[in-house]
Structure 1
Amino acid sequence: IKDCWPVRGLRFTAGAWHMRDQIAHDDAPVVRKLREAGAIILGKTNCPDLSWMFETTNPIFGRTNNPRALDRSVGGSSGGEAAIIAAGGSPLGLGSDIAGSLRVPAACTGIVSLKPTPGRIPTDGHVPQVRGPIVPFNTAGPMARRVEDLALAFRVLADTPVRDYQTLALSGRTLIPFTTPFAQRPVIGAVMEAADALERAGMQRRVGVRFPAIKTLFSYSALVYKHGYDDVHRILGGGTPYRLWDEIAAIRQGETRISPLLLYFFALTTPSLRLANAVGFGERSLEQARQEWLALMGDDGVIVTNVLLGGVPYHGWGYTTPFMPPMTPLCNALGLPSAVVPVTWDAHGLPLAVQVVARPGEDEVVLAVAAALEQAFGGWRLAAG
């Protein structure tokens, strides 16, 4: 269980220094659902400070390495879950996702994950909680080795009825391959290979679709800044917003309380997000973007796209690429269900994964397409490291 969820009787830190000695007195509803279904809780797994980075490191437990290559990042923020599943230590895990935190680690480690439609799985008990218009951005979701295990966990965790994904026909459904700006050749190739396989399975490819990705990303980011930053800063500061120079001084004295990468991220992004908020990006522009996306997807469209811009990154990639992988937060902003599945593997045994995206409420379609890709390419492999 990712350490953003309380598990009765176990340490519950959310990766935040000021929560390092906290013990959970009750299970989160999602944890309770798993227990009631017969799941055995093996333990808690690492996450970055308040799940706010795409690297899994924090001042309490340090860095989580990728079991496929120890010099590579495991992604974040559900990186501890991804690592233990990829290494064969657990068949199933529970994470969370407000910008890609289920999907980036899955892509980095070669496992599968599902970010569901908002509202299908409860998020009560998650730390941090979010408020206002960004509440639907944060989702709970399962991570696993195989798509059939994702589907099993989804049925257990969901508050709404779940259809059997194996009964859904893909033949004739619209397929939209899409790669984001700055995507590198290997990941573009993985998307195209996935699209080819799905076309052979009977899906109808549509090309030349141009989604309003930039407007959507600015709208999402402005809302997260306006409704999320203050709460996170307060928790990180132990009840009052942290002071950047005080934290830098603490780091220089060997008393790190907030990960340097997170301080760097906030310092670098806050001015641009403040500007995006000031010039009018927000709820109205996001709703306009949502309607544009849904119109372009059509009634039965499924997008297959990249997760990362390149191969599995090395540790410290957040310093050189501090902004989030562009496609993952768009799904949170638009309320689109999405799953990640490995497609090909490079010469170093590292995965190249794709993301499958469908219309709101079509989580089962996402699982069906992911299962088709898993069957075509073989899916998860045990990490040899």
Structure 2
Amino acid sequence: MALTRLEWFLSWVLRTVMGFLFTLFQLLAPRRSDGSSRLPPITNPLLMFSGVQLAQKIRRKEVMSVEVVQAYIDRIQEVNPLINAMVKDRFSAALQEAAEADRLVKEETGGEEALQHRLPLLGVPFTVKESFNLQGMPNSTGLLSRRGVVSECDAPPVALLKRAGAIPLGVTNCSELCMWLESHNHLYGITKNPYNTEHIPGGSSGGEGSILASGGSVIGVGSDIGGSIRLPAFFNGIFGHKPTPGVVCNEGQYPPASEQQQHFLCTGPLCRYAEDLLPLLRIIAGPNAEKLSLSSEVDLRNLRFFSVPHDGGSPLVSPVAEQLLQAQREVVERLEADLGVKVEQLRIPQLRYSFQIWGALMGAPGRDGKPPKAFAELMAGDGKKVWPVWELAKWILGLSAHTMPAIGLALMEMVQGSPSQFVLQQKEELQSRLEEVLGTDGVLLYPTHPHIAPKHHHPLFTPFNFAYTGIFNIMGLPVTQCPVGLCREGLPMGLQLVAGKRQDHLTLATALHLERAFRGWRDPGTV
């Protein structure tokens, strides 16, 4: 009981302080016009096909890759001035590669099936998060000190997509050093949500989420160590999948993860259409795809479904918005009506310690006993070490090269202590509970975030809300973020589908069903 009272008191203090700061921010922040909050609707029908469908049409000579790539280039040029999602393009090279793809189709003698087996995404355009190596493209991860860094080779997942025939259009914005849920840095500026440009697209793969949702890309690559695929997918109304760890190679990214963090970091696909998730995962996993049962048929009527509506009331995390709770209830009702299953509602008490568990494990040393590299050192890039307190003083004067979230994280590291035995015990109990519940045939419904996409900079006042996604990085479970309609304000809603380790095919199959039931992605220019 004493612990509960202490938590209540800390929660009250935290919410009071944050409420005061938020009110002050609202009063002092410059007023922005909402005149540019709507994107033009998509008019080219080529932009409304999935990647799988485009590949098939190109193989069958129903459309040329050059036409498809040009259609996406035109759309990017139309919307990117409004959303600032793509930070560097390679349009000329992409058109040349599209012409080569068309030549291969024309000269193919083995038939469509042979071409599909050899080059399953031949001629299909894609985009890449700027933190990944893409040959000839910048790889700064939003650091001013890395503004001149250009990739000399491709990250393994990018290379596998290119080997499958896909054509990269360019790289997209992310948060500074990929450690914040707003894609903002002093090198490329701020990326905006295509459903309302006064709101965030999420992070750190926010540029990917924004360009995909706006119709400027059809498939993309992101990374996720605390929700960086799922949050942008949620805020932008698209699909994103965090695979089982160790399946997709994490090399070729900046910053590199420590030995311990490699168990939590996942590279995965983002896309507008659910049917693209599985083939994309199969391609970027390479030989490791055999570790998953991606070819297995899934009968959803034989699965066990569970719903957890919230984390149980963490004092550090906002309560889940009623609109999102209602959306999850509607998903439960639809699954029960469509499949004839009974979705069991659960309460898992250990989830209320999600942020503490994530923080403790992220900072834990590896098997060699060495702690991960300090965030302040990563902020320095190749320059001198960053001193967080001094950097905060510079930020107040408008002189810092870093964003407030990055400085805040470096400051938190200075006061972070060793994880308590209580937190580690909660982690072990949660791990056991989830493994017991999910087994090899269970799917768990869980909120992706407590709120719909916030306005720009507002996450500074709710910095721990990412715990809803971050906990599953620590648990090592595959998760698919699935859109389930729009809220009253016209912003996307969604939820996470969680399965047991190496049971990725279960959440991917469920996402396909929910896409049919709730219409999936919607053109932001028409809502």
Scaled by the length of structure 2, the TM-score of the pair is: 0.69
Q: Which amino acid aligns with 1:335?
A: G
1-structure distance, mates of 2:204, 2:238: 15
The aligned runs of 1:309-320 (5 Å cut-off) are: 309-320=450-461
What corresponds to 1:328 in structure 2?
469
Deviation at 1:302, TM superposition (A): 0.8
Deviation at 1:238, TM superposition (A): 3.1
Deviation at 1:304, TM superposition (A): 0.7
Deviation at 1:10, TM superposition (A): 1.1
2-structure distance, mates of 1:135, 1:283: 19
What corresponds to 1:257 in structure 2?
401
- Correspondence for 2:513 among 361, 364, 372: 372
What corresponds to 2:504 in structure 1?
363
- Correspondence for 1:297 among 421, 425, 438: 438
Q: Is the 8 A contact 1:166 1:368 kept in 2?
A: no
- Cα deviation 1:155-210 (Å, max 9, x = unaligned): 11112225456821010311111122311211111111111111222333112342
Q: Is the 8 A contact 1:216 1:289 kept in 2?
A: no
Deviation at 1:370, TM superposition (A): 0.8
What corresponds to 1:179 in structure 2?
309
Q: Is the 8 A contact 1:168 1:365 kept in 2?
A: yes
Q: Is the 8 A contact 2:258 2:373 kept in 1?
A: no
2-structure distance, mates of 1:322, 1:98: 15
- Correspondence for 2:381 among 235, 238, 245: 238
* Larger displacement relative to structure 2 (127-136 or 329-338): 127-136
Q: Measured at CA, do residues 270 and 173 of structure 1 come closer, stay the same or move farther in structure 2, by a change above 3 Å? A: farther
Are 1:190 and 2:327 matched, yes or no? yes
Determine helix, strand or coil for the equivalent of 2:306. Answer: strand
Deviation at 1:213, TM superposition (A): 1.1
What corresponds to 2:138 in structure 1?
11
Are 1:70 and 2:200 matched, yes or no? no
1-structure distance, mates of 2:493, 2:356: 27
Q: Is the 8 A contact 1:220 1:282 kept in 2?
A: no
Q: Which amino acid aligns with 1:280?
A: Q
Q: Which amino acid aligns with 2:196?
A: A
Determine helix, strand or coil for the equivalent of 1:71. Answer: coil
**Unpaired runs of 5+ in structure 2?**
1-127, 314-318, 366-370
What corresponds to 1:153 in structure 2?
280
2-structure distance, mates of 1:153, 1:37: 10
- Cα deviation 1:266-313 (Å, max 9, x = unaligned): 435763xx24x2423676753443122211334422111111102221
Q: Which amino acid aligns with 1:56?
A: S
Q: Measured at CA, do residues 211 and 252 of structure 1 come closer, stay the same or move farther in structure 2, by a change above 3 Å? A: closer
Determine helix, strand or coil for the equivalent of 2:488. Answer: coil
Are 1:221 and 2:359 matched, yes or no? yes
Aligned residues: 382
Deviation at 1:261, TM superposition (A): 2.5
**Unpaired runs of 5+ in structure 1?**
none
Determine helix, strand or coil for the equivalent of 1:99. Answer: coil
Q: Measured at CA, do residues 285 and 349 of structure 1 come closer, stay the same or move farther in structure 2, by a change above 3 Å? A: closer
Q: Measured at CA, do residues 278 and 122 of structure 1 come closer, stay the same or move farther in structure 2, by a change above 3 Å? A: closer
* Larger displacement relative to structure 2 (83-92 or 216-225): 216-225
Q: Measured at CA, do residues 266 and 214 of structure 1 come closer, stay the same or move farther in structure 2, by a change above 3 Å? A: farther
2-structure distance, mates of 1:26, 1:306: 37
Q: Which amino acid aligns with 1:365?
A: L
**Structure with bigger gyration radius:** 2
Deviation at 1:7, TM superposition (A): 0.7
2-structure distance, mates of 1:251, 1:38: 45
Deviation at 1:27, TM superposition (A): 0.6
Deviation at 1:211, TM superposition (A): 4.8
Deviation at 1:230, TM superposition (A): 3.5
1-structure distance, mates of 2:210, 2:229: 12
What corresponds to 1:137 in structure 2?
264
Q: Percent identity?
A: 29
Q: Measured at CA, do residues 202 and 63 of structure 1 come closer, stay the same or move farther in structure 2, by a change above 3 Å? A: same
What corresponds to 2:9 in structure 1?
none
* Larger displacement relative to structure 2 (227-236 or 307-316): 227-236
Q: Which amino acid aligns with 2:500?
A: R
Deviation at 1:229, TM superposition (A): 6.2
Q: Is the 8 A contact 1:212 1:293 kept in 2?
A: no
Q: Is the 8 A contact 2:376 2:388 kept in 1?
A: no
Q: Which amino acid aligns with 1:129?
A: P
Q: Is the 8 A contact 1:211 1:293 kept in 2?
A: no
- Correspondence for 2:249 among 122, 133, 158: 122
What corresponds to 1:21 in structure 2?
148
* Larger displacement relative to structure 2 (180-189 or 107-116): 180-189
2-structure distance, mates of 1:207, 1:50: 37
2-structure distance, mates of 1:177, 1:369: 14
Scaled by the length of structure 1, the TM-score of the pair is: 0.93
Q: Measured at CA, do residues 285 and 186 of structure 1 come closer, stay the same or move farther in structure 2, by a change above 3 Å? A: closer
2-structure distance, mates of 1:194, 1:56: 29
Deviation at 1:127, TM superposition (A): 1.4
1-structure distance, mates of 2:455, 2:296: 37
1-structure distance, mates of 2:302, 2:328: 19
Q: Is the 8 A contact 2:448 2:468 kept in 1?
A: yes
Q: Measured at CA, do residues 69 and 229 of structure 1 come closer, stay the same or move farther in structure 2, by a change above 3 Å? A: farther
The aligned runs of 1:279-294 (5 Å cut-off) are: 279-280=420-421, 286-294=427-435
Q: Which amino acid aligns with 2:344?
A: R
